Structure 1
Amino acid sequence: MTDRIAHVRLSSVVLPLADPISDAKVLTGRQRPMTEVVFLFTEIVSAAGHEGIGFSYSKRAGGPGQFAHAREIAPGLIGEDPADIGRIWTKLTWAGASVGRSGLAVQAIAAIDVALWDLKAKRAGLPLAKLLGAYRDSVRTYNTSGGFLHTPVDEVIENARSSLAAGIGGVKLKVGQPDWRQDIARVTAVREALDPDVPLMVDANQQWDRATAMRMGRLFEPFGLVWIEEPLDAYDAEGHANLARALDTPIATGEMLSSVAEHVRLIDAGAADIVQPDAPRIGGITQFLKLAAYAEHRQLEIAPHFAMEIHLHLAAAYPIEPWVEHFDWLAPLFNERLETRGGRMYVSERPGLGITLTEQARAWTVGTAEFGRRP
């Protein structure tokens, strides 16, 4: 029986971070330390009483813009069949056609798109991974939040041990210090402090030039890294491809791209051994599934960026064994927790994404907009 979207609520939520976060972009003066993350939440209710929740996010800037764009296009949702997710995505894209099909425009749509998929899975009584067709009930996971450059190396080691004790499988370290010797020293200290079988990754956050990236890549070869992430500018497909051909260590990149088309260019150039798409950044789950199909066709691994509450389900439904990034930053926003054990993150049996907003998230809300009426 055909259902209809009856009510839409948009919320702009500002999540404060306990400590200012610094990576290589801060050390090069390109960005300031990050003190908060701004989320765009969409809550959708259908005439039959089915509900869905989705989110997008912005770091440092863009949050108010995402909220403003979503507020402009959201009225077009009322009266639509929530099952027609692909058609709705196209409708919303055309509603904002003058601002393009990437970046902020599709990130605003992403929060809506994710909510529609959450609603669809809940209506089916299935976790989203099961609705999509899961290949596994758990995914390899690694921690990033304990390895930022502002963190002293002794604390990085302690954070790594705590993550491993909590059932997380791998550890990612930020690199890109002005003095390259500090990068080598930090990675050496962590590698020597942990079991040699612990998967270790590094992330330069786009801050090396081509020559530096090649030199650093060769210096890192003896560490047996799972990957080197974003050694170059996110849009330097040729440079990344040169590294991928020259180094034994896999190259991972893609998190900063904001459309499927940009990822396809990266893949076609041979620029990534491991693709790191971010569903909220490229337009939601509908777009992520298109990219995942292409990445599978090219026999590439994926390691989705951030937003593990969404990406766990998408990674579980990807044929080639993936990774999911564990971040505890979002914990205050959701009542539920994701289970990690034995180096893996497990899909819960809760329908949909399996998340509900906390009262604290409601308290951090700085703007709302509502359309239609609740049934």
Structure 2
Amino acid sequence: MSMIESNVYIDAKIPSMEAGPASVDKIEWVKLSLLFLPLAAPISDAKVLTGRQKPMTEIAFVFAEIRTRDGHEGIGFGYSKRAGGRGMFEHAKEIAPNLLGEDPNDIAKIFNKLLWAGASMGRSGMAVQAVAPFDVALWDLKAKRAGLPLAKLLGAHRDSVQCYNTSGGFLSTPLDKVLENVESSRASGIGGIKIKVGQPDTAIDYARVKAVREKLGEGFPLMVDANQQWDRVTAQRFCRKLEEFDLTWIEEPLDCQDHEGHAALSASLDTAIATGEMLTSFEEHARFIGVKAADFVQPDAPRVGGITPFLQIMNLASFNGLKLAPHFAMEIHLHLSAAYPTEPWLEHFEWLEPLFNERLELRDGRMWVPNRPGLGFSLSEQAVAWTVATETFGTRP
């Protein structure tokens, strides 16, 4: 033993920190899968009623499975509602070889490498969304290697997140059925209800919101979502009318690219404005946040390119004092929401449950972070049955 001046004894046999190679592992195998999840019934929101889109009947998913030389593995996904799934799969196939030989720990480096591999197609939209399955899989792998749920790896602020339901309130659902869905959602332990608005006749929207508020009673969190339906004048007038219902937020009242319009609307209303689900990069979110275009930011990790850019958006939103309510994909966003400094909201969709062997726990108005390592899910036999194409790269360890 040796002694230093402070009379603290240290063991001279302990080796010093020595310089050396930092890399500890490398990616040797990647698998991509394209599958289509059928919906039980066609789904319509305001964009369907105005002829912009057709009813949604299925969702395309691109899954990435990654394995390393040392036996670590991760799984991630991206998705497309309506067109784009096959294109995303093909773009992901083109950039996938760039992962081979990389250290899976270097997630930010790999994200940039994949982004620039397809940069001639742009750095937003499908080119970014095709990166998401790989990025999510790498974060899943990293958390699994640490033996921690992803939320704990990131540094959780809470073990559960308040959760609201959307799937029961689409415009294609008759009002009496919406009210039944509200009742069953509350019975299941949901903490908030969101319904769609954006009818060509705003009087119909008003009647539906009024009926749901009366069903819920005062104080229970209620949100509405216009899916980019209104122009600025209609939004200003109707959003003021909706303020009597004490809404938690009004979502996407304007076109998702209308920064100034959202900012003006947000500044003029007592009710919070929420938007961001259709933005497909950190840069697009940064522009929105920069002009104070919303009170709630609603990034979607698969749409912005994965968890790496999502964390950038989280940091910027927190710095600007904004609230967080990620869009869709609760299997991913539960972990990210748990790591946000201020209390966020999580969007509940049961649609994805057939894809996975595991289930999330909904209780007392909140979704609870599972204690399983990583994201905590694995693909089910049903997911394999819905798969229409696969591609592998490298050699399976």
Q: TM-score, normalised by structure 1?
A: 0.99
Match of 1:110 among 119, 126, 132: 132
Q: Percent identity?
A: 69
Deviation at 1:340, TM superposition (A): 0.7
The equivalent residue for 1:204 is 226
Match of 1:156 among 178, 203, 212: 178
Match of 1:76 among 64, 88, 98: 98
The equivalent residue for 1:261 is 283
Mapped to 1, the partners of 2:164 and 2:298 lie a distance apart of 13
Ranges in structure 2 where 5+ consecutive residues have no aligned partner: 1-22
The equivalent residue for 2:213 is 191
Mapped to 2, the partners of 1:327 and 1:86 lie a distance apart of 29
The equivalent residue for 1:175 is 197
Deviation at 1:154, TM superposition (A): 1.0
Match of 2:115 among 72, 93, 100: 93
The equivalent residue for 2:16 is none
Q: How does 1:273-284 map to 2 (within 5 A)?
A: 273-284=295-306
Deviation at 1:193, TM superposition (A): 1.2
Letter paired with 2:319:
H
Deviation at 1:160, TM superposition (A): 1.0
Letter paired with 1:199:
P
Number of corresponding residues: 375
Q: Helix, strand or coil: the match of 2:57? A: strand
> What is the CA deviation profile of residues 314-365 of structure 1, one whole-angstrom value per residue up to 9, with x for unaligned ones?
0000101100100011011011111111111000000000000000100100
The equivalent residue for 1:237 is 259
The equivalent residue for 1:216 is 238
Deviation at 1:161, TM superposition (A): 1.2
Q: How does 1:3-82 map to 2 (within 5 A)?
A: 3-82=25-104
> What is the CA deviation profile of residues 103-159 of structure 1, one whole-angstrom value per residue up to 9, with x for unaligned ones?
101101011000000000000000000000000000011000000001011110111
Mapped to 2, the partners of 1:188 and 1:160 lie a distance apart of 13
The equivalent residue for 1:299 is 321
Give runs of ≥4 in structure 1 deviating > 4 Å. none
The equivalent residue for 2:390 is 368
Match of 2:150 among 111, 120, 128: 128
Letter paired with 1:175:
V
Deviation at 1:164, TM superposition (A): 1.1
Q: Helix, strand or coil: the match of 1:304? A: coil
The equivalent residue for 1:346 is 368
1:225 aligns with 2:247: yes
Match of 2:307 among 272, 275, 285: 285
Deviation at 1:313, TM superposition (A): 0.3
Mapped to 2, the partners of 1:201 and 1:176 lie a distance apart of 13
Ranges in structure 1 where 5+ consecutive residues have no aligned partner: none
Deviation at 1:197, TM superposition (A): 2.1
Match of 1:309 among 328, 331, 350: 331
The equivalent residue for 1:334 is 356
Q: Helix, strand or coil: the match of 2:38? A: strand
Deviation at 1:195, TM superposition (A): 2.9
Letter paired with 1:287:
P
Deviation at 1:235, TM superposition (A): 0.4
Mapped to 2, the partners of 1:167 and 1:139 lie a distance apart of 12
